[in-house]
Amino acid sequence: MATIDPSRFRSTLLSIVRYGFGRTMEQATKVDIFNSVCFAVREHIIDRKIETEKRYADNDVKRMHYISMEFLTGPLLANNLINLGIYDECRTIVNDIGLDFDDLIEFEPDPALGNGGLGRLAACFLDSLASMGMPGFGYGINYDYGLFHQSIIGGYQHERPDFWYNKSSPWLMRMSGEKAMVPVFGRIEDSEDMVGEYNPMWVEWKLIVGRPHDIAVVGYGGKTVNRLRLFSAWASEDFDIQIFNEGDYYRALEDKIRFENISKILYPSDSRDSGKELRLVQEYFLVACAVHDIVSIYLNQHDSFDMFHEKVAIQLNDTHPALTVAELMRVLIDLHFVEWDDAWQITTRTLGYTNHTLMPEALETWPMHIFKKVIPRHLQIIQEIDRRFMSMIKEKYPDDPEKPRRMSIVIDNNGEKNIRMAHLAIVGSHSVNGVAAIHSELVKTRLVPDFYDLWPEKFNNKTNGVTPRRWILRANPLLAQLVCDTIGDGWILDLGRLRELEAHCKETAFLERLLMIKRKNKVRLASIIKETTYIEVDPESIFDIHAKRLHEYKRQLLNAMNIIHIYFQIRDDNIIPSVPRTFIFGGKAAPGYFMAKLVIRFIHGLAEIINKDSKANEWLKVVFIPDYRVSLAEKMIPGADVSEQISTAGMEASGTGNMKFAMNGAITIGTLDGANIEIAGEVGEENIYIFGHKVDEIESLRREHDADRFLNSSPALKRVMDAVRSDIFCPDEPGIFKPLYDSIVHGGDYYCHMADFQSYTDAHSRLANDYMDRHNWAVKSLLNIARTGKFSSDRTIKEYAEEIWKIKSQI
């Protein structure tokens, strides 16, 4: 672990404020101070970064490159200090200078370069790679605008742009001289080479420049510092000269700006395919920059491609970077004159693909005409890959004429040809994995059974994990301290050791301390709720939290239905609950997702009525905290008693929030979906509330759906649904919630709200009863903490490293 010399840190800080930002300490703004502190910390990071790079180069290690359209890092100052081991020292020094350290930590904006689970997973992976000393690097896009900020006006979500500090973030280092030149547009000219072989020429392309910006990824213990490389798009000077010479200055400037828009915004949709051309250009831009960089690093130390797959592994974070298959082929064949068959071997041995979703609307397909316009050479390569693949399939399955249509990469949909990115990724990779045991099974049996039949050995599971450095050490320092006091600090790099806490599950004093910590975290959360929503909540009540992107399959609406049920029990049935409850929500809806936005409005409708109802509000409160993001999650999760993980079975690939809540001592109420199943397996069924239909029941439920049968057999459900349809929760905007009612009662209830209602409300009553026995509840909470060590991303990364990437720790 590092130490800092206080006087040196102090003088560095002062001189950065003065010579970097041109101000005295008295004149300096908060931004100046924050940036200066980060720059002073950077001094401790850079030396290690350079040392790490040298170590990797000296040993000519195999490297893994994680290509992802999203990296949701969250604020970095606190985490970097923790991982360097200088958090407390730095805090003292900064406070001694007369600054407010805690305030500075809170001041850092979230770099929100991701939507949700997939982007946050990528960030956890980078932390684990560096913490375990593994050569693993991230490649992404340096978006000017991250995921929008959410505010709530009149109960509705409003979006504001998130112009994060990408132009001046102290963590971003522009690496001049390492740019990537990316050709786009143009056309293919068929021609032959000197010996008469087909030699297509990609002509009339334009060049975009990818400018790399690095964010250092500090591993825990500070020994290894890897990097996340983010590219910004620029119009090349050649392009400038060309277009400006044409004489039409304004049009030329417009063209230039259009190009530079490529890295402007993160697409704010987390699973609904937008199919926009700019998104494809973004995906291609990322892939081309990354492949350029990866190949250059390799060629620095090697002069042929013979060793490529022994020195390079590339992981595709979903299909978003699936064009890597075509780009790597193009670079090998067109730029380095490798033969097709050799290039194909190299490509497939290098690439691995992770699938994160089964939902049809999130599976990327692109119209072929866009490919032809944007990347004509890649289209040609993809068609050739498909042609060879199809002839192999026809030969292998001569008796199944439907196979080629089901498996091809290019598919003809009524005259319009489309590219199926998942098929491209599977054909071009040696490994295909899902992100939780059940999900990986469904990938094999439901999503792409033909591919599983063809290549069973390619398919595998890598259950997700989260980094305990951010999600326990940083987010829950009180719990971390208790754990360290009890079992030492070995758990930070070996989370399985939390099991040692089980030995204390009968010690009253220990359990009291655990309850006290939870209470403090709830008090902290209550004050955030007060500041952001002006709602007062009681830390003695159950804090029941549902925080994640808004999506119909995640069933925030089912949660709302249970709240209405409890409300009517209090208001109309005079049933006094066993314990007061606070239902807390957080999450953003994609700006174009009507139903998800309506659910947000609905939750606010409930809050408006229930929180003001004097008969109910001492027992029941509803809160929606706006702008859910990593830094807010860090405060919400430790304050949860109950974690809502209630997706329709078979729809949540894994979930990772479920893991964060459980390891912070919240008890899960959840369906047998995604990683919930594995969480239940670890913590034991008496320490989790499982409800609802299972995956194999869902399909028949949907087939036999009969809304009236549900409504007639359950007066409680009928009363709730009538309330959804009525204007009780929207007296000033009659009828607005009718689409919610219609989707459930008349629209087939695809997400099975009605079918799971009864078992959900039952599970909630059991839970509320159990909560009253404080001692027993503390035991459950402790066992959740002690038994969720499996869900460290260190474990996940070890599995990827050993089974797919074949990379090794270098410390």
* Nearest C-alpha neighbor of 144 from the set 282, 263, 44: 263
What are the backbone dihedrals phi and psi of residue 418, each rounded to the nearest 5 degrees, phi first? Answer: -125, 155
* Nearest C-alpha neighbor of 421 from the set 340, 357, 335, 464: 357
Looking at the DSSP assignment, which residues form a beta bridge with residue 600?
A: none
Site string for ligand 26Y, 302-341 (x = CB under 6 A): ----------------------------------------
Among 660, 753, 790, 795, the one annotated catalytic: 660
* Nearest C-alpha neighbor of 669 from the set 689, 684, 650: 689
Exposed e or buried b per residue across 361-372, where buried means at least 16 C-beta atoms within 10 angstroms of its C-beta: ebbbbbbbebbe
Site string for ligand 26Y, 433-462 (x = CB under 6 A): --x---------------------------
Give CA–CA dist 452/449, Å, rounded.
Answer: 5
Give the residue with the Cβ less far from ligand 26Y, 488 or 592. Answer: 592
Region binding ligand 26Y by CB under 6 A among candidate stretches 147-155, 602-610, 651-659, 683-691: 651-659
507 — alpha (psi -120 to 50), left (phi > 0) or beta? beta
Cβ-contact 492, 794 below 8 angstroms: no
- Residue 267 C-beta: closest distance to ligand 26Y, Å: 6
Give the residue with the Cβ less far from ligand 26Y, 656 or 664. Answer: 656
Residue of 12, 80, 115, 315 interacting with ligand 26Y (CB under 6 A):
115
Residue holding tokens 């959410």?
150
Among 73, 350, 354, 656, the one annotated catalytic: 656
What are the backbone dihedrals phi and psi of residue 114, each rounded to the nearest 5 degrees, phi first? Answer: -165, 165
Assess whether 798 carries a catalytic annotation: no
Give the residue with the Cβ less far from ligand 26Y, 172 or 659. Answer: 659
Assess whether 588 carries a catalytic annotation: no
- Residue 270 C-beta: closest distance to ligand 26Y, Å: 5
Give the residue with the Cβ less far from ligand 26Y, 77 or 466. Answer: 466
Rounded alpha-carbon distances, angstroms, from residue 405 to 225, 366, 668: 47, 17, 43
Residue of 79, 226, 271, 648 interacting with ligand 26Y (CB under 6 A):
271
Residue of 75, 117, 210, 665 interacting with ligand 26Y (CB under 6 A):
117
Per-residue three-class SS string for 728-751 = CCCCCCCCCCHHHHHHHHCCCCCC
Residue 37: half-sphere exposure toward Cβ, Cα within 13 Å: 30
* Nearest C-alpha neighbor of 532 from the set 415, 603, 445, 632: 632
121 binds ligand 26Y (CB under 6 A): yes
Residue of 97, 307, 362, 487 interacting with ligand 26Y (CB under 6 A):
362
**Which pair of structure tokens corresponds to residue 341?**
């068959």
Give the residue with the Cβ less far from ligand 26Y, 380 or 461. Answer: 461
Region binding ligand 26Y by CB under 6 A among candidate stretches 92-100, 112-120, 340-348, 369-377: 112-120
Give the residue with the Cβ less far from ligand 26Y, 443 or 610. Answer: 443
Site string for ligand 26Y, 409-438 (x = CB under 6 A): --------------------------x---
Give CA–CA dist 636/529, Å, rounded.
Answer: 10
Assess whether 660 carries a catalytic annotation: yes
Region binding ligand 26Y by CB under 6 A among candidate stretches 248-256, 390-398, 650-658, 782-790: 650-658
Region binding ligand 26Y by CB under 6 A among candidate stretches 110-118, 407-415, 517-525, 620-628: 110-118
Cβ-contact 316, 67 below 8 angstroms: yes
Tally of CB atoms within 10 A around 149: 18
674 binds ligand 26Y (CB under 6 A): yes
H or E element that contains 755: helix 753-772
Give CA–CA dist 378/328, Å, rounded.
Answer: 10
- Residue 583 C-beta: closest distance to ligand 26Y, Å: 22
Q: Cα 587 to the chain's mean position, in Å?
A: 13
Residue of 53, 89, 273, 342 interacting with ligand 26Y (CB under 6 A):
273
H or E element that contains 695: helix 695-703
Amino acid at 609: I
Assess whether 656 carries a catalytic annotation: yes
- Residue 587 C-beta: closest distance to ligand 26Y, Å: 12
Among 356, 377, 474, 551, the one annotated catalytic: 356
Residue of 116, 155, 219, 638 interacting with ligand 26Y (CB under 6 A):
116
Looking at the DSSP assignment, which residues form a beta bridge with residue 96?
A: none
Region binding ligand 26Y by CB under 6 A among candidate stretches 19-27, 117-125, 343-351, 385-393: 117-125
Looking at the DSSP assignment, which residues form a beta bridge with residue 174?
A: 213
- Residue 226 C-beta: closest distance to ligand 26Y, Å: 20
* Nearest C-alpha neighbor of 108 from the set 175, 41, 43, 158: 41
Q: Which residue's beta carbon is nearest to the bound ligand 26Y?
A: 117
H or E element that contains 483: helix 477-487
Rg, the chain, Cα only: 27
List the strands of the sheet with 410-413, edge to edge: 365-367, 416-420, 410-413
Region binding ligand 26Y by CB under 6 A among candidate stretches 40-48, 114-122, 335-343, 384-392: 114-122
Residue holding tokens 């050799």?
342
* Nearest C-alpha neighbor of 428 from the set 316, 335, 338: 316
Tally of CB atoms within 10 A around 260: 16
Among 462, 548, 555, 629, the one annotated catalytic: 548
Of 163-222, binders to ligand 26Y (CB under 6 A) are: none
**Which pair of structure tokens corresponds to residue 166?**
């990408």
Tally of CB atoms within 10 A around 507: 13
Give the residue with the Cβ less far from ligand 26Y, 83 or 271. Answer: 271
Task: Specify the pairing of strand 667-670 against strand 689-690.
Answer: parallel
Per-residue three-class SS string for 180-211 = EEEEECCEEECCECCCCCECCEEECCEEEEEE
- Residue 274 C-beta: closest distance to ligand 26Y, Å: 6
Give CA–CA dist 740/719, Å, rounded.
Answer: 15
Among 42, 48, 403, 549, the one annotated catalytic: 549
Assess whether 548 carries a catalytic annotation: yes
Give the residue with the Cβ less far from ligand 26Y, 157 or 654. Answer: 654
3-state class (DSSP) for residue 236:
coil
649 binds ligand 26Y (CB under 6 A): no
Residue of 650, 655, 665, 789 interacting with ligand 26Y (CB under 6 A):
655
Region binding ligand 26Y by CB under 6 A among candidate stretches 88-96, 180-188, 219-227, 272-280: 272-280
- Residue 118 C-beta: closest distance to ligand 26Y, Å: 3
128 binds ligand 26Y (CB under 6 A): no
Give the residue with the Cβ less far from ligand 26Y, 146 or 221. Answer: 146
Site string for ligand 26Y, 708-747 (x = CB under 6 A): ----------------------------------------
Assess whether 504 carries a catalytic annotation: no
93 binds ligand 26Y (CB under 6 A): no
Residue of 364, 552, 749, 756 interacting with ligand 26Y (CB under 6 A):
364
Give CA–CA dist 280/267, Å, rounded.
Answer: 11
385 binds ligand 26Y (CB under 6 A): no
Give the residue with the Cβ less far from ligand 26Y, 121 or 424. Answer: 121
- Residue 595 C-beta: closest distance to ligand 26Y, Å: 16
Task: Specify the pairing of strand 416-420 against strand 365-367.
Answer: antiparallel
- Residue 47 C-beta: closest distance to ligand 26Y, Å: 34
269 binds ligand 26Y (CB under 6 A): yes
Instruction: Count residues binding ligand 26Y (CB under 6 A).
Output: 23
| Those residues with Cβ within 8 angstroms of residue 739's Cβ, 6 or more apart along the chain or in another chain | 594, 595, 598
Catalytic residues: 356, 548-549, 554, 656, 660
Binding site for ligand 26Y (CB under 6 A): 115-118, 121, 269-274, 356-357, 362, 364, 435, 464, 652-656, 674
